[in-house]
């Protein structure tokens, strides 16, 4: 089962959608591992999968290095602050925050799909009238 979830999480990570979310859910729900440990394990998982994705995206010239530098600097600062906060939270609080985060992501994904669908529908209607 670990192999299947690792494989799926790797694919989702390479697509840029956060395979760690799948990994954290798997470790917490199916393996019974505490939330703090699941999230820390995800960070270790993230290193090799992101390196592989970075190599492929560099080859395909898909990375804007100028923007990346700024994001990396502030991402490291945010990670340090987030780690500090996470270590101070109880497991139940961390699980709730993680759940709310997943709901927010789901909402924005559904909204994105809906707006894309309506734009395509309008475009198709225009083309049919022409």
User: Which pLDDT band, with edges at 50, 70 and 90, does 80 fall under?
Assistant: very high
In the prediction, which pLDDT does 74 show? Answer: 95
Give the residue with greater pLDDT, 115 vs 14. 115
With respect to residue 120, please indicate whether it lies within any of the assigned structural domains: no
CA dihedral of residues 53, 58, 40, 32 (deg, nearest 10): -10
**Residue 121 to residue 99: CA distance in whole angstroms:** 33
Percent of the chain with pLDDT over 70: 97
With respect to residue 13, please indicate whether it lies within any of the assigned structural domains: yes
Q: Residue written as tokens 């690792």?
A: 6
With respect to residue 113, please indicate whether it lies within any of the assigned structural domains: no
With respect to residue 41, please indicate whether it lies within any of the assigned structural domains: yes
User: Which pLDDT band, with edges at 50, 70 and 90, does 50 fall under?
Assistant: confident
With respect to residue 52, please indicate whether it lies within any of the assigned structural domains: yes
Mean pLDDT over each residue of the chain, to the nearest integer: 87
Task: Say whether pLDDT at 61 is over 80.
Answer: yes
With respect to residue 103, please indicate whether it lies within any of the assigned structural domains: no
Percent of the chain with pLDDT over 90: 34
How many domains does the structure of the chain reveal? 1
User: Do 9 and 23 meet the contact criterion of CB atoms below 8 Å apart?
Assistant: yes
In the prediction, which pLDDT does 16 show? Answer: 67
Structural domain that includes position 10: 1-63
Characterize 86-96 residue by residue with b for buried, 16 or more Cβ atoms within 10 angstroms of its Cβ, and e for exposed. beeeeeeebbe
Task: Say whether pLDDT at 123 is over 70.
Answer: yes
In the prediction, which pLDDT does 130 show? Answer: 62
User: What average pLDDT does range 5-10 have in this prediction?
Assistant: 83
CA distances from 2 to 14, 23, 31, 37, 38 (A): 18, 9, 9, 16, 13
With respect to residue 22, please indicate whether it lies within any of the assigned structural domains: yes
């Amino acid at each position: 089962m670990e192999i299947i979830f690792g494989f799926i999480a790797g694919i989702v990570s390479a697509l840029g959608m956060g395979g760690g979310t799948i990994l954290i859910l798997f470790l917490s729900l199916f393996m019974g591992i505490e939330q703090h440990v699941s999230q820390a394990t995800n960070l270790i998982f993230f290193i090799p999968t992101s390196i592989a994705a970075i190599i492929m995206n560099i080859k395909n010239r898909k990375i804007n290095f100028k923007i990346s530098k700024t994001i990396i600097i502030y991402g490291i600062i945010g990670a340090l602050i987030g780690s500090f906060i996470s270590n101070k939270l109880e497991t139940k609080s961390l699980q709730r925050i993680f759940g709310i985060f997943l709901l927010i992501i789901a909402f924005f994904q559904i909204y994105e799909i809906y707006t894309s669908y309506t734009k395509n529908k309008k475009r198709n209607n225009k083309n049919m009238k022409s």
